[in-house]
């Protein structure tokens, strides 16, 4: 059972700062100091129970409780032109990290400058994150890989312009970022551009550039940090394109300490990726709301890391019934994703489950069965029950 709590104190305060779409967040924990001056605080945690086939030491099913995530949130508004946020994260036994620390300068109603640490422009799955996806939680980092590997939970230090046009029907963002942690959790042994391997390989120290363009054909989706589902609050038909590039962003060495990296065992290459994502959500389709989403990804490391180079696909479908049963409404869903790296060791994951939506984004219970298939390895079947609350 996975527990997920994320305060919508933050969502409330930052909805203005980030121009987030209204997501039924409950106001609370905000202290106002005058016109357009306020501070909001919050907390969040995610942990839970999982049961995985053949994962115990004796080959039986595993049974585990884990604390997956614990977060503290702080956001503020200095005036209607200057806003900021500070969020921390402790996950999977790791030490506390700052995941967001930035200021947003609202130059015009349509254009803002973001500076500091924040999510760089990316695909919808990464921008929505674990609390705003269709089936709850991340997309398991199989297709949408940068949110897992890149930066600090997809965040990075940099600066970006975030804008909209045509009554928020067109959204765009583009920025320059440090990009030193593109493969942070991938296990490929990537080296930074200040490492000994980078010096031996004569690698550049360039910034990473990232951008996203989105077009909404039905209701508009204002804001930068996004969502993967509106639970019937809007009719959405949207297509987004995202990409990122870093010269000499893939650096490796086969040297193992105390062996010193040499030109023979150090490699460098450019890193690039792009994606196309699609979301359709329509109210009043029979007795409820239907949702469909899909995405395509292409990753390139100049053949430095073949296990992180290749193509990926994801797709999902959900249906939210209008009629409440007890406290909430049922929302069955199914998701599929695959990553096809150039090592020819493909990974596929199938998920079938249901949300019990008590309050959109603020109170959900999710039960899901998953089957993960990796070429040359045994299937991994798992069952998970999760809870998500926001205050």
Q: Are 379 and 146 in contact (CB under 8 A)?
A: no
Query: Residues 6 or more apart from 361 whose CB is under 8 A from it?
Result: 8, 11, 23, 24, 25, 131, 132, 227, 231, 388, 390
Nearest to 265 by CA among 208, 206, 361, 189: 189
Confidence at residue 18, expressed as pLDDT on a 0 to 100 scale: 36
DSSP of 207-259: -EEEEEEEEESSS---SSS--S--TTSS-EEEEEEEEEEEEEEEEEE---TTS
CB 18 within 8 A of CB 225: yes
The list of the chain residues with pLDDT below 70 reads: 1-28, 46, 92-94, 136-140, 255-259, 263-264
What is the model's pLDDT at position 137?
Answer: 67
Q: What is the pLDDT of residue 28?
A: 42
Which CATH number is associated with domain 7-389? 2.40.160.10
pLDDT value at residue 93 = 60
> Structural domain boundaries of the chain?
7-389
Rounded to two decimals, the pTM is: 0.89
């Amino acid at each position: 059972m996975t527990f997920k709590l994320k305060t919508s104190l933050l969502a409330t305060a930052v909805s203005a700062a980030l121009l987030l779409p209204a997501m039924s967040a409950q106001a609370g924990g905000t202290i106002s100091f005058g016109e357009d001056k306020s501070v909001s605080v919050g907390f969040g945690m995610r942990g839970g129970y999982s049961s995985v086939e053949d994962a115990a030491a004796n080959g039986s099913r595993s049974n585990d409780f884990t604390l997956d995530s614990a977060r503290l949130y702080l956001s503020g508004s200095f005036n209607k032109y200057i806003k900021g946020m500070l969020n921390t994260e402790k996950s999977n036994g790791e030490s506390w990290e700052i995941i967001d620390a930035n200021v947003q300068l609202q130059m015009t109603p349509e254009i803002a400058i973001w500076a500091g640490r924040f999510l760089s422009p990316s695909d919808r799955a990464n921008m929505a994150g674990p609390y705003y996806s269709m089936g709850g939680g991340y997309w398991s980092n199989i297709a949408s890989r940068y949110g897992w590997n890149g930066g600090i939970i997809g965040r990075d230090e940099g600066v970006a312009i975030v804008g909209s046009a045509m009554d928020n029907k067109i959204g765009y963002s583009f920025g320059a970022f440090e990009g030193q942690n593109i493969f942070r959790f991938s296990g490929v042994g990537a080296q930074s551009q200040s490492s000994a391997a980078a010096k031996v390989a004569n690698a550049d120290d360039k910034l990473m550039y990232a951008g996203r363009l989105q077009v909404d054909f039905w209701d508009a989706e204002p804001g930068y940090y996004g969502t993967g589902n509106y639970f019937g609050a809007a009719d959405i038909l949207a297509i987004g394109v995202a990409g990122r590039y870093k010269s000499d962003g893939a650096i490796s060495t086969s040297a193992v300490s105390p062996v010193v990296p040499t030109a023979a065992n150090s490699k460098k290459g450019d890193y690039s990726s792009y994606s196309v994502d699609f979301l359709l959500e329509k109210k009043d389709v029979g007795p409820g709301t239907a949702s469909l989403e899909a995405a395509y990804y292409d990753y390139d490391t100049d053949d430095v890391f073949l296990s992180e180079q290749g193509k990926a696909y994801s797709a999902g479908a959900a249906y939210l019934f209008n009629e409440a049963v007890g406290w909430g409404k049922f929302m069955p869903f199914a998701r599929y994703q695959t990553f096809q790296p150039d090592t020819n060791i493909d990974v596929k994951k199938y998920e079938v489950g249901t949300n019990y939506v008590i309050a959109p984004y603020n109170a959900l219970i999710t039960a899901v069965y998953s089957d993960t298939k990796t070429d040359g390895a045994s299937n991994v079947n798992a069952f998970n029950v999760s809870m998500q609350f926001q205050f």
